[in-house]
Amino acid sequence: MSTLCVPSQLPSVAQDSEQLHKAFSGWGTNEDLIVSILGHRNASQRKLIREFYAETYGEDLLKALDKELTNDFERVVMLWTLDPYERDAYLANEATKRWTSSNQVLVEIACTRSPKELLLAREAYHARFKRSLEEDVAYHTSGDFRKLLGPLVSSYRYGGDDVNLTLAKAEAKLLHEKICEKSYSCDDIIRILSTRSKAQINATLNQYKNNFGNDINKDLKADPKDEFLAILRATVKCLAYPEKYFEKVIRLAINGRGTDEGALTRVVATRAEVDLKIIKDEYQRRNSVPLDKAIAKDTNGDYEKMLLALIGHEEA
């Protein structure tokens, strides 16, 4: 499911650190060397490189990268080099500070990570920002959005595969009743989406479709311009069909007027070690174009090289 290509014969952490230090030395920066190392190391390997680099050269690797790189290339390398939980904390903090009702990054983090991953991201948020993610979400959002996002980011779901079919049928019926009443922000809808395990939610959504004829997200499209309904649909999609959610984010990032580098960078950096292979397959199925070709057409330079390395493009 990961698209990351790590060499079978790896240099030592000391060698990687020395090469990165050389990439920053002298006139100009050796961007190709940075891509060849960081673009082909997994999270634990990158963490060891950061630690060794700091011990050896007295500087955080992230600070060195920040000084040497610019623009979209800097953004993708910085996000990628972060520990996954630090990265989620950083992205969540950005999303709260710049929050608008159309921003779905908080939903993305809360609903596509495992219970343990979300807990670690919240701990990383404490460590980095000296506040809780929950309090920042509560402070920066309001109304129905706060009512939904607060429980989502503070959730600690059961992560197993056990399913209660009787409960699934009952809650599918309850969801259908509330949606028919247009009670989209009622306590029951938010309780089900923010507390039930992903396996249980999938069972409930299957019961919903079997018993009422539509996917729940079709029934949540009553008003396409309603931004709360949009974030509710994103919640369902992230919980039940994350590969379809991320494919759409990439498609809109590439196919819109101009490239949305922020969204493209975020998805590639956060999913390359998780399920980007599945997302790539979904992208090709949906668009009849390989993702690497779409990225190569829409981006350029060192930014393009780093993205292609992370999505497993053979020549990167």
Burial class (CB in 10 A: 0-12, 13-18, 19+), 285: exposed
273 is in an annotated binding site: no
Please report the beta strands in the chain, taking only residues with DSSP state E, as ranges in sequence order. Answer: none
> Position 103: which residue type?
N
The reported pLDDT for the residue numbered 252 is 94
Amino acid at 179: I
Transcribe 187-250 into DSSP letters.
Answer: HHHHHHHHHS-HHHHHHHHHHHHHHHSS-HHHHTTSSTT-HHHHHHHHHHHHHH-HHHHHHHHH
Cα gap 191→147, rounded to integer Å? 10
Please state, in angstroms and rounded to a whole number, the distance separating the CA atoms of residues 234 and 217: 9
pTM: 0.95
* Mean pLDDT value across residues 32-60: 97
pLDDT at 290: 97
The amino acid that residue 152 corresponds to is L
pLDDT digits (tens, 9 = 90+) for 95-115: 999 988 889 999 999 999 999
Q: Which two tokens stand for residue 136?
A: 């920042």
Structure tokens at 219: 């029934």
Angle between helical axes of 187-195 and 143-153 (0-180°, round to 10): 30
Query: What is the separation of C-alpha 250 from the centre of its chain, rounded to a whole number of angstroms?
Result: 11
The DSSP-derived string for 140-186 is: H--HHHHHHHHHHHT-----S----HHHHHHHHHHHHHHHHTT-TT-
189 is in an annotated binding site: no
Asked whether residue 59 is marked as a ligand-binding residue, the answer is: no
Whether the per-residue pLDDT at 316 is higher than 60: the answer is no
Q: What's the pLDDT band for 257 if we cut at 50, 70, 90? A: confident
CA angle 31-37-41, nearest 5°? 140
Question: What value does the mean pLDDT take over residues 46-60?
Answer: 97
255 in Cβ contact with 211 (< 8 Å): no
26 annotated as a binding-site residue: yes
Tell me if 24 is assigned to a ligand binding site.
Answer: yes
80 token code pair: 């990628």
CA distance 110 to 121: 10
Residues 61, 30: Cα–Cα separation, whole Å = 15
Asked whether the beta carbons of 73 and 302 are under 8 A apart, the reply is yes
Confidence tier at 315 by pLDDT (50, 70, 90):
low
Locus of tokens 């630090």: 86
Determine if residue 312 is labeled as part of a ligand binding site: no
Is 254 known to sit in a ligand binding site? yes
Is 228 annotated among the ligand-binding residues?
no
Matching residue, tokens 């939610």: 201
